[in-house]
Amino acid sequence: MNMQLAKVIRKDSIESMRTTLMTAGVVLGVSFGLGIWLGIFNAACEFGMLAMYCICTWFLWCYLISSLFGSLKTKEGRIAMLMSPAPAISTYLIRLVIGFIGIPLLIYAGYWLLWGANELTIKIIYDYWPNNVIFNFMDIYSAESAMGTFIVLGLQLVVLSAYFFGGVAWPKKSFLKTSGILIVISVIFSVLATIIIKLIVNNIFNLRTLDISGMLIGWVLVAIEFSTSAALIILAYYKLRKLTLTSGK
Amino acid sequence: MLDIKNLSFSYSRKQSLLRDFSMQLESGTVTGLLGRNGAGKSTLIYLICGLLRPQSGTIRFDNINTAERTPALLSDIFLVPEEFKLPSVTLEKYVEANAQFYPRFDRALLEKLLDIFELNSSIHLAKLSMGQKKKAFIAFALACRTSLLILDEPTNGLDISGKRAFRRVVSESMTDETTIIISTHQVYDIDKILDHVVIMDRSGVLLDESIAEIQSRLSFNFTTDRQRAEKALIALDVPGGYNIAETLTDDNDETEVNLETLFELITSTHSKTLKL
């Protein structure tokens, strides 16, 4: 297994080197350029700007994770991947690591590059350090509200897992298809949640007699989020293993 | 040995493409897989490689079910599809990335085959024409020395010297352990290298014979004699006369198999009942 994994890593690193470098170059280059551009106009990277950057890169992350199985889009790419004498688990694990560790690291590096380039440009042109304290992602995962932290993390994980699964299940236009499905599911859940909350408020279920705390509901939500993510990630593997030339077309 | 038993497959519920299809191929043969457009040749190839799963029946290669597509099996099968995509790297890098999966990969053979195709391993795959890419890919496929090599329309896109080189590389790489299946419509490009022919249509295998067996029963000739043509098993109108197939008798000599004439003989409606 380790030997096979090493072979697949070697193959992927050789064959995808150009694409990987280009993607990294674009993300880092755009971040760096944006930092300089804002600095030229003496616009320091404050919370709002960096938050905007985070939102944009979040969509980028979702897009990139849904494109990890992009070679399955065409018949030629599909044959090449399926005929490769590598176990599906190796192909899968590499993409899982890239999607859930590699891409966020790249985005985080871009984030620092944006901030650093901005600070430096302002110093060079306007001769002062804006001294903006970079927004620490870890702040949103504060120790005081572990549950809130896990709810946010869990939600992110569900969305990313859905895009990862979508990449295998619908290789063609997987980002759009997965986005569409997520939107439909969100709408359905919102409606259901509203109805359930109304029913609870009106005490239809007679829940007020039960001692259900907000914390308990929160942790149940966290458990649902993490188990959904795990299910999607595992399903993606089984989908990949059972893939044929025509499935998901 | 490749053993296909009672294979059925369809892309849609309404229309079945292969029904109760059976075929066996021995090792050490170069088999031509012939059939009309839409007969299911490519589908059969994808089924053999495990890229599609049969609705019923089995395909076993050396007693392993190919639908399982295990890494060990895949390292012993190579498919050169009609259309393929190669990464944007040099052939050297491509070999470095992919040869590791094929335990019997033969570097010296690759160099020899590339030489026949007038290529070298420093070429960049993205900068090659389709025909050159095909040559490079076929050379790599043969150098992998897999027990089963399947080539789908391998001579499409090759120039005249490329076609001649193709016949040479196949002959030079052939061993007793190798089974090569060539699916093609370009019968004149491969007729000299085949030692077995399978002609199929949707109903199944119409002909599954060795070239030697066909030669021992049929004689293929060109004639301008209309009366002889009318008496033949089949006569194909060609410029200046007829290509005919006749039953081999003591009066005529053994000839080379004319695949086009043989194909028409086997697939034409009136001769479907003809037993070789």
- The 3-state secondary structure of B227-256 reads HHHHHCCEEEEECCEEEEEEECCCCCCCCC
Per-residue confidence (pLDDT) for residue A236, from 0 to 100: 96
> CB distance from B77 to chain A under 8 Å?
yes
Beta bridge partners of B199: B34, B207
Judged by average pLDDT, the poorest of A60-74, A165-179, B87-101, B198-212 is B198-212
C-alpha to C-alpha distance for A29 and B118, rounded to whole angstroms: 42
pLDDT in tens, B156-172: 989 999 999 999 999 98
What value does the mean pLDDT take over residues B124-147? 95
C-alpha to C-alpha distance for B235 and B241, rounded to whole angstroms: 9
Is residue B271 over pLDDT 60? Answer: no
Beta bridge partners of B135: none
Of the partner residues A4, A17, A246, the one whose CB lies closest to the CB of residue B11: A246
Domain ranges (residues) in chain B: 2-202, 212-271
What value does the mean pLDDT take over residues A134-161? 76
> CB distance from B103 to chain A under 8 Å?
no
Q: Is A248 left (phi over 0), alpha (psi -120 to 50) or beta?
A: left
Q: Percent of chain B, pLDDT > 90?
A: 61
pLDDT in tens, B232-270: 899 998 899 999 998 888 777 888 899 999 999 998 854
Helices (DSSP H) in chain A: which residue ranges? Answer: 2-15, 17-40, 47-66, 75-83, 88-97, 103-126, 146-169, 174-201, 214-241
Per-residue confidence (pLDDT) for residue A194, from 0 to 100: 86
* pLDDT range class, residue A137, cuts 50, 70, 90: low
> CB distance from B72 to chain A under 8 Å?
yes
Is residue A139 over pLDDT 70? Answer: no
> CB distance from A218 to chain B under 8 Å?
no
Is residue A167 over pLDDT 90? Answer: yes
Q: Select the residue from B17, B100, B146 to test the A interface by mutation, using most A Cβ atoms within 10 A.
A: B100
Query: Which residues on B lie below 8 Å from A82 (Cβ)?
Result: 50-51, 69
pLDDT in tens, A76-127: 999 999 999 988 899 999 999 999 999 999 999 998 899 899 989 999 999 9
Q: To which H or E segment does residue B138 belong?
A: helix B130-143
Report yes or no: A80 and B84 within 8 Å, Cβ to Cβ.
yes
Q: Is A183 left (phi over 0), alpha (psi -120 to 50) or beta?
A: alpha
Residues 127-156 of B with CB under 8 A from A: none
> CB distance from A185 to chain B under 8 Å?
no
Q: At what angle do helices B91-98 and B107-116 cross, to 10 degrees?
A: 150
Per-residue confidence (pLDDT) for residue B11, from 0 to 100: 87
Question: What is the arrangement of strands in the sheet containing B64-65, beginning at the earlier edge strand?
Answer: B18-25, B2-9, B56-61, B64-65
The rounded mean pLDDT for chain A is: 87
> CB distance from A2 to chain B under 8 Å?
no
Per-residue confidence (pLDDT) for residue B276, from 0 to 100: 41
Q: Percent of chain B, pLDDT > 70?
A: 97
pTM attached to this predicted model: 0.86
DSSP characters over B1-49: -EEEEEEEE-SSSS--SEEEEEEEE-TT-EEEEE--TTSSHHHHHHHHT
Report yes or no: A5 and A93 within 8 Å, Cβ to Cβ.
yes
Contact between chains at A14 and B77 (C-beta distance less than 8 A): no
Contact between chains at A83 and B11 (C-beta distance less than 8 A): no
Question: What is the arrangement of strands in the sheet containing B241-247, beginning at the earlier edge strand?
Answer: B218-223, B241-247, B234-238
Per-residue confidence (pLDDT) for residue A132, from 0 to 100: 66
Going from the C-alpha of B259 to that of each of B166, B185, B211, the distances in angstroms are: 18, 10, 10
What value does the mean pLDDT take over residues B28-49? 92
Query: Which residues on A lie below 8 Å from B100 (Cβ)?
Result: 7, 10-11
ipTM of this predicted structure: 0.86
Query: Which residues on B lie below 8 Å from A72 (Cβ)?
Result: none
Pairing label, strands B30-34, B56-61: unpaired
C-alpha to C-alpha distance for B269 and B246, rounded to whole angstroms: 17
Per-residue confidence (pLDDT) for residue A208, from 0 to 100: 59
Query: Which residues on A lie below 8 Å from B148 (Cβ)?
Result: none
Is residue A140 over pLDDT 50? Answer: yes
CB-based contacts of A11: which residues, under 8 Å, 6+ apart? A84, A86, B97, B98, B100, B101
Length of chain B: 276
Closest Cα in chain A, distance from residue B141 (Å): 12
Per-residue confidence (pLDDT) for residue A210, from 0 to 100: 58
Q: Select the residue from B69, B70, B133 to test the A interface by mutation, using most A Cβ atoms within 10 A.
A: B69
Contact between chains at A11 and B94 (C-beta distance less than 8 A): no
Q: Percent of chain A, pLDDT > 70?
A: 88
C-alpha to C-alpha distance for A186 and A204, rounded to whole angstroms: 24
Sign of CA dihedral A74, A75, A76, A78: positive
CB-based contacts of A225: which residues, under 8 Å, 6+ apart? A150, A151, A154, A155, A157, A158
Is residue B273 over pLDDT 70? Answer: no
From the options 3.40.50.300, 3.30.565.10, 1.10.357.20, 3.40.190.10, give the CATH code of B2-202: 3.40.50.300
* pLDDT range class, residue A141, cuts 50, 70, 90: low
What value does the mean pLDDT take over residues B101-121? 94
Of the partner residues B53, B81, B100, the one whose CB lies closest to the CB of residue A244: B53
Contact between chains at B46 and A245 (C-beta distance less than 8 A): yes
Q: What residue type is B39 in one-letter code?
A: A
What value does the mean pLDDT take over residues B111-132? 93
* pLDDT range class, residue B145, cuts 50, 70, 90: very high
Give the Cβ contact number of residue B53 at 10 Å. Answer: 17
Is residue A1 over pLDDT 70? Answer: no
Per-residue confidence (pLDDT) for residue B269, from 0 to 100: 55
> CB distance from B83 to chain A under 8 Å?
yes
Judged by average pLDDT, the poorest of A191-195, B83-87, B181-185 is A191-195
